[in-house]
Homo-oligomer: A and B are copies of this chain.
């Protein structure tokens, strides 16, 4: 068969990894795909032209205009690896309208414009691969689109942002504060100069909205996700959580309930006995609970040139194998057939149900605990565990830490407001969510 000719938009970290893999493993990949996969053209930034020319040793035709690559006659598939929403969206849509399949690692693009992109792809009967957009080299998209198709997915929970997981691991292992751990992540190249998307949970929410769409057969709806990051997390709370046998991880959680779908990213206490609690550093992992298969876990590198390139190339192999078959015989973009995607209710955060970790700074005097527990009881919140620390030397205030049973977030909000209004409470209550990940 004739080779599959790929045009790369971007030849930076992910594009470079993709190119290296296709060069190094060309023969092994062709033995699987049934045909060669070759990069014929790439668009790069003007300032990178010389560096890339040396790396690709004249074997790739380079230019600085990505639209030129999209439209080139010798490009069968477009791999969009530049990131950002524009011009990526325009380029992807143009490729699809030309009938060219697209592979992309761009989770921000798909989280915001995915529904439009998949609709245009469907109309033009072409494939869109986005394995690289979530959890790097872990084939989690394939798992959800094809591996677990027998299941009604009940929930999934993922460590899907390596930067924040690295920071949390450092905070725990080294006792660092958030800022110090962030600086270290930046020094090591794990965090960008502006780390907002990573540490505030936005990147994880982009990915979560894609996972949830495939798990539940709903549209991609990033805008409805509840998003909290890790920047206000303290080493103190990480320590207290440990005392109860919990680790704190930034999880993306999508859960199907009788009242609607929960879609949320936030720091989460999970039992140290859970396998996913042991996923440290920049590694990623996704736990998926299906009604038939039970809990399954997928673990690997969530970022980096070659792990992400591995996912891009897997999508290219899928296209090499199946790009020519009739659309009805292909795997649907979001796991469910396009006409079977349904817009289900996504619950506002006040409506979610989970357990909670509360830390209160209270005056050390009789009656305080009685006041607090009365407020919680009125909201029907029951306490699973409690820890009261001795006051530090010279202080009249103590930390009281409570773990609650599962309750409605609304009830916790109401209780916290009332607790904070007590004279004996000296500071805002720290509230973290806790998940058992077991049912």
Q: Hey, which bits of chain A sit against chain B, CB under 8 A? A: 1, 17, 21, 24-25, 28-29, 31-34, 131, 136-139, 142-143, 146-152, 217, 275, 278-279, 290-301, 306-307, 309-314, 317-318, 321-322, 324-326, 328-332, 335-337, 340
Are A306 and B335 in contact (CB-based, < 8 A)? no
Given A32-B332, A298-B298, also A307-B293 (CB < 8 A): yes
> A296 vs B279: C-alpha distance in the bound complex, in angstroms?
12
Q: Which of B306, B312, B322, B335 contacts A32 (CB 8 A)?
A: B335
Q: Which of B142, B291, B301 contacts A146 (CB 8 A)?
A: B142
Contacts of A148 in B (CB 8 A): 139, 310, 314
Given A34-B328, A139-B143, A148-B310, also A299-B297 (CB < 8 A): yes
Residue of B nearest to A139 (CB): B147
> A283 vs B325: C-alpha distance in the bound complex, in angstroms?
38
Q: Which of B142, B278, B300, B329 contacts A322 (CB 8 A)?
A: B329
Are A340 and B31 in contact (CB-based, < 8 A)? yes
> A331 vs B320: C-alpha distance in the bound complex, in angstroms?
10
Contacts of A275 in B (CB 8 A): 275, 278-279, 299
Are A314 and B25 in contact (CB-based, < 8 A)? no
A-B contact pairs, 25 of them (CB 8 A): A21-B151, A24-B152, A28-B151, A28-B217, A31-B337, A31-B340, A32-B336, A32-B337, A32-B340, A137-B294, A142-B142, A142-B146, A143-B147, A146-B146, A147-B314, A148-B314, A149-B313, A149-B317, A150-B313, A275-B278, A293-B300, A293-B310, A295-B301, A325-B325, A325-B329
Residue of B nearest to A297 (CB): B299
Given A143-B142, A325-B326, A329-B325, also A34-B296 (CB < 8 A): no
Distance (Å) between the CB of A412 and the closest chain B CB? Answer: 32
Contacts of A317 in B (CB 8 A): 146, 149-150
Contacts of A330 in B (CB 8 A): 321-322
Are A34 and B337 in contact (CB-based, < 8 A)? yes
For A31, A328, A331, the residue with the greatest tally of chain B CB atoms inside 10 Å of its CB is A31
Contacts of A321 in B (CB 8 A): 329-331
Given A32-B332, A32-B337, also A151-B300 (CB < 8 A): no
Q: Which of B28, B32, B152, B298 contacts A296 (CB 8 A)?
A: B298
Are A149 and B294 in contact (CB-based, < 8 A)? no
Contacts of A311 in B (CB 8 A): 150, 293
Residue of B nearest to A304 (CB): B294
Contacts of A313 in B (CB 8 A): 149-150, 292
Q: Which of B33, B151, B306, B325 contacts A292 (CB 8 A)?
A: B306
Are A294 and B314 in contact (CB-based, < 8 A)? no
